[in-house]
């Protein structure tokens, strides 16, 4: 077992997930089933969360493979990385919009079941189709790295492949070398995203923990899209940091912990704050005490977000003092 296993463990999920999600989404709308619609939206969001560590474990897998006996086709690795980055970004946008769609089902001011807005449906549909296409390219090129038997001559030398191989280097150049201000501006956005997460997701969970009980939960729940927006901003800026300096993060155990915490905290947000299974919590009125389970989940969510902030702040220190990686 080494860190390259993580990539193998994760990498089939986002690809298959993008297709399963799209299939569920289409069936849900053909059958006009609200339950299935919500299931497919939650599914997209969870797959989007899993896609994050999948991408971030790729650089380590590549480093480990470089040391193995067979030589890796470098162009193919670069094309795979470019396709993976595009897949990741589109998967995150799909996931963010799907989560807003899921949240729309619980809007209290609309008669139940509140219909999901048409713009959301259209956007999730378009983005998930694009994502599934990107995922196909990612899986194809990724598989070919270790399975030359599936590689045909024109695949390797195609114009698309050549373009794909330039994606990661050019994004990396933009983030780190195009101007000395890109990185600080991205960091500022990352902090503003953090504030939105703390305000909307933290505020809701503070109420579900039993603080500020004068406030009804439902209207706090209405502010959730601001937290979701903060989360998407931070995931996108975070991806750009990683692409800019992959080996500042790739081997760092605190970074691995931070990513695991993000998947957990994000999953908590999706399952407990957005799905219909726990919607009774969002109906708590002014002065009403949340149930013990809600308090436990809210406390866990708040702890996870605090841990994420602290781990993020400690990343530079561990990179310096642990001297992790080759």
Contacting residues toward other proteins, per CB under 8 A: 108-109, 180-181, 184, 187-188, 191-192, 194-200, 202-203, 212, 214-216, 218-220, 222-223, 226, 286, 306, 309-310, 312-314, 316-317, 321
Between 109 and 152, whose beta carbon lies closer to other proteins? Answer: 109
Q: How far is Cα 292 from Cα 101, in angstroms, rounded to an integer?
A: 28
Q: Which is nearer to other proteins, 64 or 189 (CB)?
A: 189
Residue 123 or 199: which CB sits closer to other proteins? Answer: 199
Residues 62, 321: Cα–Cα separation, whole Å:
24
| For other proteins, the closer CB: 77 or 201 | 201
State which residue, 17 or 202, has the beta carbon closest to other proteins: 202
- Alpha-carbon distance of 315 to 311, in angstroms, equals 6
CA-to-CA dists, residue 295 to 61, 153, 207, angstroms: 40, 58, 9
Phi-psi region of 22 (alpha: psi -120 to 50; beta: other; left: phi over 0): alpha
Shortest gap between Cβ of 100 and other proteins (angstroms)? 14
Number of other CB atoms surrounding residue 70 within 10 Å: 8
* Least Cβ distance, residue 121 to other proteins (angstroms): 23
CA pair distance 156, 140, nearest whole angstrom:
11
Q: How far apart are CA 110 and CA 115, in angstroms?
A: 8
Q: Which of 45, 52, 59 is nearest to 98 (CA)?
A: 45
CB closer to other proteins out of 83 and 259: 259
Nearest C-alpha neighbor of 85 from the set 178, 193, 165? 165
Q: Is the dihedral of CA 139, 142, 148, 152 positive or negative?
A: positive
Q: Which CB sits closer to other proteins, 127 or 282?
A: 282
Min. distance of Cβ 148 from other proteins in angstroms? Answer: 46
Nearest-approach distance from CB 135 to other proteins, in angstroms: 34
Q: How far is the CB of 200 from other proteins (least distance, A)?
A: 8
Indicate left, alpha or beta for 210 from its phi (over 0: left) and psi (-120 to 50: alpha).
left
Q: Which is nearer to other proteins, 158 or 286 (CB)?
A: 286
Whether 245 and 176 have beta carbons less than 8 Å apart is answered as: yes
CA distance 22 to 282: 28
CB of 189 to other proteins, least distance (A): 9
* Distance (Å, whole) CA 193 – CA 238: 11
Residue 26 Cβ vs other proteins, minimum distance, rounded to whole Å = 33
The CB-of-147 to other proteins minimum distance in angstroms stands at: 44
């Amino acid at each position: 077992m080494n860190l390259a296993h993580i990539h193998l463990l994760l990498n089939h999920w986002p690809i298959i997930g993008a297709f399963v999600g799209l299939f569920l989404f289409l069936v849900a709308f053909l059958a006009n089933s609200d339950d299935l619609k919500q299931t497919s939206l939650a599914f997209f969001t969870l797959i989007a969360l899993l896609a994050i560590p999948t991408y971030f474990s790729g650089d380590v897998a590549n480093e480990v493979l470089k040391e193995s006996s067979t030589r890796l086709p470098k162009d193919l690795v670069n094309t795979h990385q470019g396709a993976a980055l595009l897949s990741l970004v589109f998967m995150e946008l799909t996931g963010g919009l799907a989560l807003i769609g899921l949240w729309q089902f619980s809007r209290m001011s609309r008669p139940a079941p509140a219909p999901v807005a048409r713009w959301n449906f259209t956007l999730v549909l378009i983005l998930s189709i694009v994502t599934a296409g990107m995922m196909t390219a990612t899986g194809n090129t990724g598989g070919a790295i270790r399975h030359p038997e599936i590689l045909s001559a024109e695949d390797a030398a195609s114009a698309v492949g050549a373009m794909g191989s330039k994606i990661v280097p050019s994004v990396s150049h933009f983030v780190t070398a195009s101007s000395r201000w890109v990185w600080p501006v991205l960091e500022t956005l990352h902090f503003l995203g953090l504030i939105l997460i703390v305000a909307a997701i933290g505020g809701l969970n503070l109420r579900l923990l039993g603080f500020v009980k004068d406030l009804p939960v439902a209207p706090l729940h209405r502010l959730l899209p601001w937290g979701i927006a903060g989360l998407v901003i931070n995931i996108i800026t975070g991806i750009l940091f990683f692409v800019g300096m992959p080996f500042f993060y790739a081997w760092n155990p605190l970074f691995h912990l931070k990513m695991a915490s993000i998947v957990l905290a994000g999953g908590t947000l999706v399952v407990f704050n957005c799905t219909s299974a726990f919607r009774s919590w969002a109906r708590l009125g002014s002065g009403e005490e949340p149930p013990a389970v809600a308090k436990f989940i809210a406390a866990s969510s708040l702890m996870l977000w605090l841990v994420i902030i602290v781990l993020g702040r400690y990343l530079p220190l561990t990179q310096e003092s642990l001297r992790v990686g080759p």
